[in-house]
Structure 1
Amino acid sequence: MIFTDQQKIGVMLSAMGSFFSILGIFLFLDRGLLAIGNLLFISGIVLILGLHKTSKFFFQVKKIKGTICFFFGILIVIFTKWTFVGLLIEIFGFINLFGDAFPIVISVMRKLPIIGNILNYPPIARLINKTSAGEELPF
């Protein structure tokens, strides 16, 4: 698959957004880093998919609850001091939006050298297989 220059920039922006979000979480929910991470991630998604496909993805009827929670969580992080609450709402929306892609991501990660060994470890593999099959977790 050949990516255009615009899509390459989008992948980089999404990766930087994920990095800034993770760094913001590690630095005790730093509001500035989380806000930058969110904005970079969304702009990266728009550049990867294009404006029409992005709006089509976010505003599907079955994903509207996730879209509302995701963007409402981002607004809470940016405009209020309730960073933790905003992050929880945003994570809930993120899971509802991108939850269909998790089994694909896990299967790709299982083929990676170090991470694959960890994910294929029997207790972890059972847990991942249960969650990807839609079963309830044991705890």
Structure 2
Amino acid sequence: MVSLTDFQRIGVGLVGFGLFFLLFGMLLYFDSVLLAFGNILFLSGLVFIIGFKRTFTFFFQRPKMKGTSFFLGGVVVVLMRWPLLGMLLEAYGFVNLFRSFFPVAFGFLGSLTNIPILNKLLQNAGGSSSMV
């Protein structure tokens, strides 16, 4: 099991609340205040989890500058009360920033079928398409 420091636990909570407020802001027809609050909590939680220096070096690597500019530009646009445009910019920047992480995440999700309980659940969910 991975042990977390107190700062990392606070960061996990901040990221969780940030994602909650982002989702809640999108469900309430892109409420700009909730989206802005979610962005601030998410970014501050990321700093608490991995540290300021590592966060700065992740976002400002030369190959990731396009994604960083769109992501942080989207945060600024949301803070300026243009939530739909800001979230579109953030989504594009997020995909560009984490493009190299997606194959790892999909590989992990594919390996979940090797777990016996999940394998049974996925077979039952996929095999129950008959109407009779």
Measured against the shorter chain, the TM-score band is: 0.7 to 0.9
Question: Can you give the 5+ residue segments of structure 2 that lack an aligned partner in the other structure?
Answer: 127-132
Q: What is the Cα-based RMSD across aligned positions, in Å?
A: 2.3
Listed one character per residue, the Cα deviations across residues 4-40 of structure 1 (whole Å, up to 9, x for unaligned) are: 1101111111111111101111110010110011000
Listed one character per residue, the Cα deviations across residues 22-61 of structure 1 (whole Å, up to 9, x for unaligned) are: 1111110010110011000000100011011010000000
Higher relative contact order (Cα pairs below 8 Å, separated by 6+ residues): 2
Runs of 4+ with >6 A deviation: none
Between 1:61-70 and 1:91-100, the stretch displaced more is 91-100
Listed one character per residue, the Cα deviations across residues 78-127 of structure 1 (whole Å, up to 9, x for unaligned) are: 113x211111001101111122222333344453949x839x95xxxxxx
Q: How does 1:50-69 map to 2 (within 5 A)?
A: 50-69=51-70
Q: Does 1:96 align with 2:96?
A: yes
Q: Does 1:117 align with 2:104?
A: no
Q: What corresponds to 2:74 in structure 1?
A: 73
Q: Distance in 2 between matches of 1:104 and 1:48?
A: 20
Q: TM-score, normalised by structure 1?
A: 0.76
Q: Percent identity?
A: 41
Partner letter of residue 122 of structure 2? N
Question: Can you give the 5+ residue segments of structure 1 that lack an aligned partner in the other structure?
Answer: 122-139
Q: What corresponds to 2:83 in structure 1?
A: 83
Q: TM-score, normalised by structure 2?
A: 0.80
Q: Distance in 1 between matches of 2:7 and 2:95?
A: 26
